[in-house]
Amino acid sequence: MSRRRLQLLPQRIPAAASNAIGRSVGALGVTPNMVSLAGVAGAAAAAWLIVQEHLLSAGIVFLGSSALDFVDGAVARATGKATAFGAVLDAVLDRVGEALLLVACIWYFADRGEQVQAGFGYAALFGSIAVSYARARGEVFGVTARDGLFRRQERVVLLGIGLLANGLTVVIVILAILANATALQRLAILGKALRLQDREEAAS
């Protein structure tokens, strides 16, 4: 199975729809950074709802705010306001939003005395950080590792479904396993690519 086939969800919405959304939102005077900040604010609100044990509401808010991840890039491209700093800010805020949700899940389980589930929450948090960090470190050495079994898009959708369906216990276990498996997968991809680079440099 190729790495491309492992992508369960698309990276971007179709170009025509993206451009239409970007132009419409940009015409309102909204900047890409505003959209990114609104997304993390929505994630923070969803995290608070989880702590308050309003899981259905949290799921709705989280999935709604996560949809803004497609909008900020669309606005940046349509308005010509795409910048390197904006891309970095967007990536950082995306990870902050996901971390807030997972910390809220850990809090939720711990408060209910469900220590095993809280432990899986910690593992899911570690895995999500490791997946992103592996990609970032790979890019330092010129190796791209964006693919994987369970990228951020899949993690967000699964967590949202778990909240909506009141199945957070099952979902947190799946997240913990697949996020860490993806981190290991990316490490293997990076290891192979970097060893090849080393051999090519040694032969040159």
pLDDT tens by residue, 82-107: 788 888 888 889 899 999 999 999 99
- Percent of the chain whose predicted confidence (pLDDT) is above 70: 86
Q: How many beta carbons lie within 10 A of that of residue 143, not counting itself? A: 18
CATH level 3 topology of 11-203: Four Helix Bundle (Hemerythrin (Met), subunit A) (1.20.120)
pLDDT at residue 73 is higher than 50: yes
> Across the chain, what does the average pLDDT equal?
84
pLDDT tens by residue, 17-52: 556 666 676 666 777 788 889 899 999 999 999 999
Domain regions of the chain by residue span = 11-203
Q: Answer whether 62's CB lies under 8 Å from 112's CB.
A: no
pTM of the model: 0.83
Dihedral sign, Cα of residue 169, residue 171, residue 174, residue 177: negative
